[in-house]
Structure formats: structure tokens, C-alpha cells
């Protein structure tokens, strides 16, 4: 007697990419991704190199969710991609790519005041749908 058990591969119970905006980093460097309803970097939320988290009885430095390693994927907008975009006036979202070197060298306040980002891109709903909700950084 054979027992047939269907197995489904590649279909996680919760697909975070469908509820967020994916970021593909095709560069050879780590990038940090910030986003805003404004065309300038904002003081909040503050980006940091590592976050301290307490687990297993101690503090640990972990990479923040907005850090995307070279040649890897990350995501932004965990509250829901369309909700995120609709919350912005004009339904436009600015995405800022900041190098790890800049975050190591400058305080966040100076990064914002001098707008020290590598690249800034603006998107609306149509743009994001056309690229299948995947922003690519080169």
C-alpha cells in the first residue's frame, strides 16, 4: 500500500515579499535602505549599523531588516506595500540607498542634514507594479 502525501515547495505560509517591497542588491557592497513620503532623508526612523537584541540570556548585535547584503534580497514596508504607498501624499514613495561606509563614518543626524545617500529613487503605484514590486540596486 502506498501513502500519497502532497508536498508543496516554495509556498511559505506567510509570504513577506507579497506584503512588502523587495529590494535586490546587485552591487558588491552592503546597502542600507531607507524610505520616506518626502524627497529628503528624515531623522526618524534612524538607521544604525546593528541593532541590540536581548535573547538567550544576553545582548546580541544583529543586522537590521533594512540592511541588504551584496547580491542578496531584502525588503521594506512590512506594514503592507500598498498601505505604505497609500499613506504618502500623492501616493509617491522615495527610497534612499546608503552605503555601510557612510553609516560607519557619520552620525545619522549629519547623514540626513547633508543628504549623504548613494542613490534616491521615487516610485508610485504604477512604477512598482511595473517592476513587480522589486526595486533593484546596482
Each residue of 84-113: pLDDT tens digit? 888 898 999 999 999 999 999 999 999 999
- What percent of the chain clears pLDDT 70, i.e. is strictly above it? 86
Kindly provide the b/e burial profile for residues 22-41, where b requires at least 16 CB atoms within 10 angstroms of the residue's own CB: bbebebeebbbbbbbeeeeb
What pTM was estimated for this model as a whole?
0.81
Q: What is the pLDDT of residue 18?
A: 55
Give the range among 9-13, 68-72, 119-123 with minimum mean pLDDT.
Answer: 9-13
Res. 16: pLDDT tops 80: no
Amino acid at each position: 500500500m502506498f501513502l500519497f502525501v502532497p508536498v508543496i515547495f516554495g509556498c511559505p505560509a506567510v509570504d513577506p515579499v507579497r506584503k512588502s517591497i523587495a529590494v535586490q542588491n546587485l552591487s558588491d557592497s552592503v546597502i542600507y535602505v531607507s524610505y520616506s513620503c518626502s524627497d529628503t532623508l528624515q531623522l526618524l526612523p534612524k538607521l544604525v549599523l546593528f541593532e541590540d537584541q536581548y535573547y538567550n540570556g544576553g545582548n546580541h548585535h544583529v543586522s537590521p531588516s533594512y540592511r541588504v547584503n551584496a547580491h542578496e534580497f531584502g525588503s521594506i514596508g512590512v506594514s503592507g506595500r500598498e498601505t505604505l504607498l497609500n499613506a504618502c501624499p500623492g501616493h509617491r514613495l522615495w527610497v534612499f540607498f546608503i552605503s555601510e561606509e557612510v553609516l560607519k563614518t557619520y552620525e545619522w543626524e549629519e547623514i540626513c542634514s547633508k543628504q549623504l545617500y548613494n542613490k534616491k529613487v521615487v516610485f508610485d503605484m504604477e512604477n512598482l507594479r511595473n517592476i513587480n514590486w522589486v526595486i533593484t540596486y546596482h
